[in-house]
Structure 1
Amino acid sequence: MPELPDVEGFRKVLESCAKGRVIRRVDVRDAGVLHGVSARRLRDALEGRRFTEPERHGKWLLAHTGGPTLVLHFGMTGQLVCGHPDDAPEAHDRVLFTVGGDRQLRYRDQRKLQGLWLADDDSDVVRLLDGQGPDAMAVDRAEFEDALSTHRGRVKTVLTDQSVLAGLGNLLADEILWRAGLRPTDRASDLTEAERRRLYAHMRRTLRSAVTAGCVPPRDSWLTGHRDDPDPTCPRCGDSLRRSRVAGRGTVWCPRCQKDGS
């Protein structure tokens, strides 16, 4: 599933491919990815406008035009790619935006679990993002620590709750907790001040590296690089990794490096 680093990568694709360019044509190949807007209304609202500076909040991408804002969520399998109008569409290219005559921005999604919305103005954007917590890249330490201390759920569940903190998914949460030496089943509200600060510091460092990579990279030195191995071992201590489920999510952790919690 695309997480914050992936969506930041899509923001950069949108910026490099389409920023400042006139939207010449909107081709909706599959209206099943549209939410609350018809294909005709999407075309009428966007054709002739220019994409301006895009923004990201958590896993949401905001494609501003100086008027309506195209709002994108990538669900499990969504992507944003830049191509040429003459390139044949791929099977899962759902909506094509021809910009400036020689580039085409493509929303590609196999499973279609989320999709595209159209916000007429800033109040519509606020409404669509209502219930989202602060962005994980922008949240300050005090706000982060306060969110953890006031939630009694397991720390992984809290980290991946988009209403608490926007942008973290399964891979990032496991990686950050492993780096911080905390078990995913620890209660968030039971963490000490030192543990909360350590978790925040590792979240910031992990996100910076992942954003640079454009994904949660499966490096040998990362937990992510070993979680799908047949017999995964911890890249830090060499012990066998454990697999379990936390709030229905497949979870990987190291019983030696991640201390026993509450």
Structure 2
Amino acid sequence: MPELPDVEGFRRVLESCVKGRVIRRVDVRDAGVLHGTSVRRLRDALEGRRFAAPRRHGKWLLARTASDGPTLLLHFGMTGQLVCAHPDDETGAHDRVLFTVSGGRQLRFRDQRKLQGLWLADDDSQVERMLDRQGPDAMTVERKEFQAALSSRRGRIKTALTDQSVLAGLGNLLADEILWRARLHPATRAGDLTEADLRDLHTHMRRTLRSSVTAGRVPPRDSWLTGRRDDPDPHCPRCGHPLRRTRMSGRGTVWCPRCQPDAD
């Protein structure tokens, strides 16, 4: 599933592929990925405009258009991605919407499972309303705001980290990786964490995100929990102890019982 580093990578794809270019044509090959807008409205709103600099908030990508034009909002669900291509390149079975721009380039929204998709906002106030339930972005949130957001939660810290209304951008892989680095058991109650725990957690989150954004995803390195979690017999890359797996709030969760002892 695309998480913050993946979406930041898609932001770079969009920027390098179409920023500043005129949208010549919008081809919707599958209207099932459109939410709250029609094919005709999407075309009328975007064709003839220029893409401006995009921005990202959590797992959302905001493809703005120039001169205070409408904004295209993209959410990639579990299998979505953006691809920069040439208009003459063969389209794939999962290419849902194609944006052909000046200069012979085409941006493609590709998604196999279609769990999320594309929205259209007429102005900034509508963008704000669409993102109203999103918490602060995990990449830019300051430590005090991070501590305030988590210390008020009663549930488990793993659940709080992946709740987009608390903190926007973290998914399953990132949450497990960050908790492993911070030596916190995923079932620890968020409200039980000390100020020192939260400070340390924020530090590890920022470091993990910086490395992941550079790599364009959560990298499956041998020195990372992510690089070992899918092994047939996974062991902790730090201490060598066998890793454990469970499901927490419906999510597959991996941790090291030696490095991350149960707080109870």
Per the normalisation by structure 1, the TM-score is 0.99
| Residue 57 of structure 1: aligned partner | 57
Task: Specify the code of the residue in structure 2 equivalent to 1:135.
Answer: D
Cα offset, 1:130, TM superposition: 1.2
DSSP 3-state at the match of 1:90: coil
Cα offset, 1:147, TM superposition: 1.1
CA offset digits 1:130-160 (Å, max 9, x no partner): 1100000111000101111110100000000
DSSP 3-state at the match of 2:97: strand
Question: What pairs with 1:88-107 in structure 2 (closer than 5 Å)?
Answer: 88-107=90-109
Task: Specify the code of the residue in structure 2 equivalent to 1:49.
Answer: R
Quick one: which of 153, 157, 182 aligns to 1:180?
182
Distance 1:54 1:30 in 2: 24
Distance 2:263 2:251 in 1: 19
Quick one: which of 182, 206, 209 aligns to 2:208?
206
Quick one: which of 111, 122, 147 aligns to 1:120?
122
1:59 and 1:166 in contact (8 A); partners too: yes
Quick one: which of 129, 132, 139 aligns to 2:131?
129
Cα offset, 1:101, TM superposition: 4.0
Distance 1:120 1:163 in 2: 23
> Which structure 2 segments of 5+ residues have no match?
none
Show structure 1 runs of 4+ deviating over 6 A: none
> Which structure 1 segments of 5+ residues have no match?
none
Q: CA RMSD in A?
A: 0.6
1:157 and 1:247 in contact (8 A); partners too: yes
Distance 2:111 2:145 in 1: 34
DSSP 3-state at the match of 1:56: strand
| Residue 190 of structure 1: aligned partner | 192
| Residue 244 of structure 1: aligned partner | 246
CA offset digits 1:32-73 (Å, max 9, x no partner): 000011111101110000000100000000000020000000
Task: Specify the code of the residue in structure 2 equivalent to 1:86.
Answer: D
Task: Specify the code of the residue in structure 1 equivalent to 2:22.
Answer: V
Cα offset, 1:119, TM superposition: 0.3
Of all paired residues, the percent bearing the same amino acid is 80
Task: Specify the code of the residue in structure 2 equivalent to 1:217.
Answer: P
DSSP 3-state at the match of 2:83: strand
| Residue 155 of structure 1: aligned partner | 157
Distance 2:107 2:10 in 1: 11
Quick one: which of 84, 87, 97 aligns to 2:86?
84
1:24 and 1:101 in contact (8 A); partners too: no
Distance 1:235 1:114 in 2: 34
Per the normalisation by structure 2, the TM-score is 0.98
How many residues are aligned here?
262
Cα offset, 1:259, TM superposition: 2.5
| Residue 70 of structure 2: aligned partner | 68
DSSP 3-state at the match of 2:159: helix
| Residue 23 of structure 2: aligned partner | 23
